[in-house]
């Protein structure tokens, strides 16, 4: 009996904590999470909006996803210079190309790279 009430108490306490987090989010005006919740609801099934408290229920999952995405973006390495001198000096460049001639050939003949270069000019 004691564990039954203990479990119920912990469940109630967790629900109150989630409610407080939700209220703090709304007071802060953090609209990015709320907009993402709406976007997710629309892209999955707009009928989700009919469920009472759907924003509150999805908020923590969306927040975790946004945090994880931001962390992944932060891990993307910076720009790598690719030329004949970095082929020998940079192990990343060396790993992508078999030799300097291959490097030059890729950049000279690749239609994808040519299209990209045209787009950024």
pLDDT in tens, 26-62: 666 567 788 888 898 899 998 988 888 888 888 888 8
Kindly report whether the global pTM for this prediction surpasses the value 0.85: no
Helices (runs of H) and strands (runs of E) counted in the chain: 7, 0
CA 10/CA 96 separation, integer angstroms: 54
- Which sign does the torsion angle of CA 69, 27, 60, 39 carry? negative
Average the pLDDT over each of 2-6, 12-16, 66-70, 114-118 and give the range with the smallest value.
Answer: 2-6
pLDDT at 36: 87
- The residue among 17 and 51 whose pLDDT is bigger is 51
Summary mean pLDDT of the chain: 82
If we measure between CA atoms, which residue out of 69, 38, 43 comes closest to residue 54? 38
């Amino acid at each position: 009996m004691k564990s039954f009430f203990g479990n119920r108490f912990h469940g109630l306490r967790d629900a109150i904590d989630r409610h407080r987090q939700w209220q703090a989010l709304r007071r802060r005006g953090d609209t990015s999470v709320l907009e993402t919740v709406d976007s997710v609801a629309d892209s999955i099934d707009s009928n989700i909006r009919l469920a009472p408290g759907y924003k509150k229920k999805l908020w923590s999952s969306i927040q975790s996803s946004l945090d994880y995405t931001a962390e992944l973006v932060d891990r993307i390495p910076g720009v790598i210079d690719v030329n004949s001198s970095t082929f020998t000096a940079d192990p990343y460049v060396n790993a992508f190309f078999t030799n300097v001639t291959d490097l030059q050939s890729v950049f000279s003949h690749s239609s994808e790279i040519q299209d990209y270069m045209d787009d950024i000019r």
